[in-house]
Amino acid sequence: MEPEIVRFPAVGRLELDQLLEQLIERAQDVLGTQGRLRGLLAATRAISSDLDLPVLLRRITQAACDLLGARYGALGVIGTDGRLSEFITVGVDDDVAAGIGPLPRGAGLLGQLIRHPEPLRVADLGAHPSAAGLPPGHPPMRTFLGAPVRVRDRVFGNLYLTEKSAAGQPAEFSAEDEELLVALASAAGVAIDNARLFDVAERRQRWLRASADIVRDLLAEDTPALSLVARRALLAAEADLAAVLVADPRSPEGQDRVQVVAADGEGADALLGTTWPRSRFTDGPTPAPGFGPDGPAMLVHIPEDGSQRPGLVWLARARAGRRYDEEDRAMAADFAGHVSLAMELGRAQQNRRTIALLDERDRIARDLHDHVIQQLFASGLRLSALAARCGDAETAQALRGLITSGDETIRTIRATIFQLRRSAPEEDIAVELRDLTEEFGDLLGFTPSLLVSGPQTSTVSGELADHVRAALRESLSNCARHARATSVVVRLEVSGGQLTLTVTDDGVGLGGSSRRSGLANLEERARDLGGSFQVDSPAHAGAGRGTRVRWRVPLSPVPTGA
């Protein structure tokens, strides 16, 4: 018996084929969705594996492009002014980026997402009402998908994707793409928050270490304080240039000018010892033209402490460097407070040493007066008695010579006692110049020799002392920048109502006119005080070798034109 063949109607077979096709499509959709979910998990793992914030931001942008099949991607970081402060791109090579010009700040469709932080999907960029057009040289872009990246309750920035492709063909972003980007942006916010916390912790550790080092070093004896402040701040801020600034004592009333008294980093040698308008040292993302790195900068105020110590530290980065944020400023302010405190403690420590030294000097003076002089006087009386009784005229004359020599010795000892008992050493300009020569030891590679002579050094104080310190600083700065010297001798002579500061080096000599122009400040300073300025080569040096700078002013300066 033959088997019975069941025949389905044609309509039934068609419905079954359609059901099978739908089942296959659903299965493919499920597989595709699973693949995209796996891609989202992989992207989440990728962006969670690094705590370096700049690396993380680029990794997030690349992961978004890979996940959604976008040719171009960007992550715009929103600054405190509500505009884009950073713009990380993927898919645009360096040559194309250079041709486009400056990075966007948040106009057009990018600004639309900043003003309204909600996911935005556009089929045609040019047709959107907020579109501002693409700049010349920009790659063509049509499809667009954007989503905000939130860190806790604040919008950190926005993810932008353009030019989606599927199976090698241009395509539009779908609602599912939007959901995936929102999910990735959420994971990115958590990763960015962790990276920022880690970054802040590292920065705080650097500043705390710098504060501890500066307190230790400033309390040590014979330490060049200003150079240390510049060096520690440079390292803690990860800056390219650090400069310590003080008010220029020669600045006319109403003109706010500062002098660079210490510097470290890129261009430090050329900047050291120069004076500039205060406005040239900016505090923000806009660089000051004319010197140093041309990127973000930060100006740190050192709290007033009643001394003549520096009041500003300027930190600058290269153009591509990260901008300083409020956390940087807070940490730098704490560092400046520690610097001020360390300087105050250092002065207190120096005062204690000075008091101990004065007590010791007073003891020595008492011993000289009460014992040595009395013994010499008694010896002189005995010699006088011997001379009177001596019958030999030649011997008597020799004894009287010894008496005269003893009297001269007594006068010398009394002068020494007077010197020991005069005002505290820290008020003497010689001590301040000694500290200044030691400060330049790091820059020169050796400590200049200092010779001080004259009975009137204790009278050099106040504004005149400021000018002397500034003149020596400028002279030593010129030596450090130009001379290539192996020794420098500084002489200060104060006598006859005149103060003469002479700085002699064994370097390459005056050479061309460029170095002479660097001494213009010294000449102007001397002329303003009614003094004179001279620069030449030492007589003992060979032709064209060495430089001698002689700066002479009256002890009671009379400004020119008075």
As a whole number of angstroms, the distance between CA 480 and CA 360 comes to 38
* Measured CA angle at 15 (ends 13, 16), to 5 deg: 65
In this structure, the answer to whether residues 66 and 147 fall within a common structural domain is yes
Please report which helix (H) or strand (E) contains residue 229, including its range. helix 225-236
pTM, two decimal places = 0.57
Tell me which residue has tokens 């033959």.
Answer: 2
Q: Which of 275, 296, 324 is the last residue of a domain?
A: 324
Q: Which residue has the tokens 């008075």?
A: 562
Q: Please give the structure tokens belonging to residue 522.
A: 């010294």
* Among 459, 453, 551, 527, CA closest to 497: 459
148 shares a domain with 41: yes
> Do 18 and 167 reside in the same domain of the chain?
yes
Question: What tokens were used for 118?
Answer: 């909600």
pLDDT of residue 18: 65
204 in a domain, yes or no? Answer: no
| Residue 156 falls inside a structural domain | yes
The verdict on 396 and 271 lying in the same domain is no
Which stretch of DSSP H or E encloses residue 131? none
Q: How far apart are CA 157 and CA 340, in angstroms?
A: 38
Residue 190 domain-assigned (yes or no): yes
Q: At what angle do helices 373-389 and 393-420 cross, to 10 degrees?
A: 170
Number of Cβ atoms within 10 Å of the Cβ of 186? 14
Name the domain boundary from 401, 424, 447. 424
Please tell me whether residues 168 and 255 are part of one structural domain.
Answer: no
Alpha carbons 159 and 72: distance in angstroms, whole number: 11
CA 403 – CA 381 distance, rounded (Å): 8
In the sheet where 488-495 sits, what is the strand order? 449-453, 488-495, 498-505, 547-554, 532-536
Find the domain containing 543 and state its range: 428-562
At residue 182's C-alpha, the angle toward residues 45 and 81, to 5°, is 105
Pick from 132, 16, 144, 133: nearest CA to 68:
144
Q: Check whether residue 435 and residue 411 sit in a common domain.
A: no
| List of residues 6+ apart from 228 with CB closer than 8 A | 214, 217, 218
Helix axes 429-439, 225-236, angle to 10 degrees: 40
Taking a C-beta distance cutoff of 8 angstroms, is the pair 250, 525 a contact? yes
The CATH number of residue 69's host domain is 3.30.450.40
Q: Which residues contact 407 (CB under 8 A, 6 or more apart)?
A: 380
Does residue 387 belong to any structural domain of this protein? yes
Q: Domain count of the chain?
A: 4
Taking the CA of residue 4 as centre, how many other CA atoms within 13 Å lie in the half-sphere pointing to its CB?
2
Give the pLDDT confidence score for residue 446 in this predicted structure.
Answer: 85
Distance from C-alpha of 158 to C-alpha of 77, rounded to nearest angstrom: 7
Q: Would you write out the chain's pLDDT as a tens digit for each of its 562 residues?
A: 565 655 555 555 566 666 666 666 665 555 455 555 566 666 666 676 667 778 888 888 888 888 888 898 888 888 767 777 778 888 887 777 766 766 776 677 777 888 888 888 888 887 777 776 777 767 888 888 988 888 877 888 888 899 888 767 888 888 888 888 888 888 888 888 888 888 888 889 999 998 888 888 777 755 557 778 888 899 998 889 998 888 876 666 656 888 888 888 888 877 877 788 888 888 876 655 566 787 888 998 887 655 555 578 999 888 777 788 888 888 988 888 888 887 777 777 777 777 777 777 777 777 777 777 777 777 877 878 887 888 788 887 887 788 788 777 777 776 666 666 554 444 567 778 888 888 888 778 888 888 887 766 767 877 888 888 888 988 888 888 888 888 888 988 887 788 999 999 888 877 654 445 457 778 888 888 889 999 887 755 455 578 899 999 988 765 544 4
Within-domain flag for 212: no
451 forms beta bridges with: 491
In a domain, residue 366? The reply is yes
Dist. CA 411–CA 373, nearest whole Å: 9
- Based on the domain organization, do 290 and 372 belong to the same domain? no
Q: List residues bridging with 547 in a β-sheet.
A: 505
- Answer yes or no: do 308 and 357 share one domain: no
Q: Is 217 exposed, middle or buried (CB count within 10 Å of its CB: 0-12, 13-18, 19+)?
A: middle
Query: Same domain, yes or no, for 407 and 440?
Result: no
| CATH number of the domain enclosing 468 | 3.30.565.10
Give a yes or no: residue 120 inside a domain: yes
User: Could you tell me which of 249, 398, 233, 250 has the C-alpha nearest to residue 316?
Assistant: 233
**DSSP track, 361-385:** HHHHHHHIIIIIHHHHHHHHHHHHH
Q: How many CB atoms lie within 10 A of CB 15?
A: 11
Minimal CA–CA distance to 514: which of 467, 548, 470, 482?
Answer: 482
The Cα 465–Cα 434 span in angstroms is 13
Pairing relationship of beta strands 154-166 and 169-170 according to DSSP bridges: antiparallel
Last residue of a domain, which of 324, 355, 389? 324
Residues 99 and 126 in one domain: yes
Q: What is the pLDDT of residue 129?
A: 75
CB atoms within 10 A of CB 357: 14
* Residue 213 within any structural domain of the chain: no
The verdict on 411 and 443 lying in the same domain is no
Residue 349 and residue 245 in one domain = no
